[in-house]
Amino acid sequence: MKIIACIKQVPDSEAKVRAEDRKVSWGESPLVINPFDEYAVEGALQQKEAQSGASSSLSTVTALCIGPESAREALKHALAMGADDAILISDPALDAERLDTLGAARLLTAAIQKIGDVDMVMFGRQTLDNGAGITPAQTARLLGWPMLGLSGQIKVQDGNVSVERVIEEGRQTVSAKLPAVLSVVQSIGEPRYPSFMGIRKASKANIPVWSLSDVGASAPEPIVKRTELMNPPVRDTAVEIISGESPAEIAEKLADKILAEKVL
C-alpha cells in the first residue's frame, strides 16, 4: 500500500501573529511541522505497520509538503518519525501569501498523480496558521476520490477503508473504497517521537524538490483575495495575584476587588 502524508510547516504554537505592512507576520518564531499533521504521519505509519503484517507487498509512507526550502525541516521530522520518503514541492514562483487552500490542493493533487498508484492520502484536521481545514476535501474532490474526514481509528481490508468517528451522539463508522483521502484527528493516538534510527536517516536524507513544472502546474491564483489586514485594538490588562492565609480570605479579597472595580 502506498500512503501519502501531507504535511505543512507552520509557526510554533507559541508564536504571535501580527499584521505588518498588511502582511501576516509571525515574527522570529521557530517553524515546526503542523502539530495536527503529526497525527497524519502517525496514522499513516500505523497503517503501514498494520499492512506489513497483513499483506506481502511492501507498504510505504511518503511525506509531501508544499513550502519554501525551510520546510525540509518539517519533512525531516516526518522521516525521523518513520516515513520512508519525503518530497518537497517548492518553486520561486510560489508565493505563500497567494497560495490558498484550493491552490494547495491543486498542487498536492498534481504531485499525488505524479507519484502514482497511491492508495491513501492522509491529512491533519487543519493547520495551526490558517486553520481552514478544507484542503483535504478539496484534494479529494480534485482527485475524484472519496473523502473520509475527521477519522479516528482506521482499518483497511480488501480494498476498503473504514474509519471511526467520535461524534456528539456517539460513534460512527464510515467506509469507502480505496483510493481515498482521509483527515485524521487526535483519537488516532499520540504521534510517536522521532526514533534515533529515524533521526539518523532523516539527517542524511536527500529530499527531492519538485518545481511547478515538475508537477505540471502553473502558480495558482487565489480565488478570494485579502484586501485588508489589521491588528486587533490594544487592550490594557494587568495581572494581580491575590494571596491570603486561607481560601476563604482569598475569596473575600477577590470579591471586594471585583466589587471595587465595578466588574459586578
- Closer CB to another protein, residue 189 or residue 216? 189
State the minimum distance, in angstroms, from the CB of residue 44 to another protein.
19
State the minimum distance, in angstroms, from the CB of residue 198 to another protein.
9
CA distance 190 to 82: 14
State the minimum distance, in angstroms, from the CB of residue 12 to another protein.
12
Judged by the rule CB under 8 A, the positions of this chain that interact with another protein are 76-77, 80, 193-197, 199-200, 202-203, 239-241
Provide the b/e sequence for 68-85 (b: ≥16 CB within 10 Å).
Answer: eeebbbbbbbbbbbbbbb
The cell for 170 is 456517539
Q: Which burial class, exposed, middle or buried, applies to 256 when counting CB atoms under 10 A from its CB (0-12, 13-18, 19+)?
A: exposed
Residue showing cell 504521534: 191
Look at residues 37, 41, 191, 39 and name the one whose alpha carbon lies nearest to residue 127: 37
CA distance 162 to 155: 5
State the minimum distance, in angstroms, from the CB of residue 61 to another protein.
18
- Closer CB to another protein, residue 72 or residue 106? 72
State the minimum distance, in angstroms, from the CB of residue 243 to another protein.
9
- Closer CB to another protein, residue 223 or residue 238? 238
- Closer CB to another protein, residue 141 or residue 192? 192
- Closer CB to another protein, residue 150 or residue 202? 202
State the minimum distance, in angstroms, from the CB of residue 80 to another protein.
6
Report residue 220: phi and psi, to 5°. Answer: -70, 145
- Closer CB to another protein, residue 2 or residue 76? 76
